[in-house]
Structure formats: C-alpha cells, structure tokens
Amino acid sequence: MNTMPMHAVAWFEIPVTDLNKAKAFYANVTGYALKDEQMGPGMTAVFGYSGSTDMNTSKAVSGHLYEGKPAPRGTGSTIHLEVDNLDAALIRLAEAGGEIVSPIIPIPAGRFAYCTDPDGNSIGLFSA
C-alpha cells in the first residue's frame, strides 16, 4: 500500500519568455527574491522557501521559472503563490504588468485572487 504524501504538489514550473524580466516581476509581486539555479539544460529562477526540500521528508514545496512557451493567455494550470499582504501584492502585480482577473475571494484558509503574469500565465495570489 502506498503512503499518502504530505503535499499533493512536489514542484512546479512556470514557462516564461524572458527569464530575467519574469524573475524581477515575481520578486516584486511576492516580495521574495528568486535564486538563479542551473537545472538540466537551462537556467532557472527558483522561488524562495523555508524548510527542507529533501524529497524523503517532503517538508517544503517550491518551483521555478524557466524560459519556455507559456500556454495561451489565461489558460493552463493555475499556480497559487503565497504573499504576506494580498492587497499590496495585487497593487504591485498590476503596476508590474500583470492583470488581476477576479475580485478577492475569501476562503476558510485566507483570501486569494486570480491573476495573469505578463506572459499570460494563470496564477493566484494567496494570503492566509
């Protein structure tokens, strides 16, 4: 019998057309720096996290940006990124060229809004 994982998601990837511009956009919106890291054949920008990424203990989940082909605007999977202050992050997102596509939605765990990044990737910003 398989053991249920701690997290349903182990890692995520967001394709972008310009890695440096996207890295600056996401760092500005989230308030956290992204770290350049060579993974496989290409350079990536890894989202910051606290905790271990040891896959045997599954204590942290993160992901990265990579230069690739984004899905058509507003389609594809939606990655929700945690921010400290949702209202402030939404202002930064709009000022940096992203688009807010929903009102703020309250849920039991906090609040979030659907958005797109400048490449049209569907993202959510979440605050507990």
What confidence tens digit (pLDDT) does each residue in 82-108 have?
999 999 999 999 999 999 999 999 999
User: Which pLDDT value is given to residue 118?
Assistant: 97
Does the pLDDT value for residue 64 go beyond 60?
yes
Does the pLDDT value for residue 53 go beyond 80?
no
User: Which pLDDT value is given to residue 58?
Assistant: 54
Average pLDDT, the chain: 91
Q: For residue 19, give the H/E element and its range.
A: helix 19-30
What is the pTM (predicted TM-score) of this model? Answer: 0.90
Strands (E), 1-109: 11-16, 35-39, 42-46, 62-67, 79-82, 99-100, 105-107
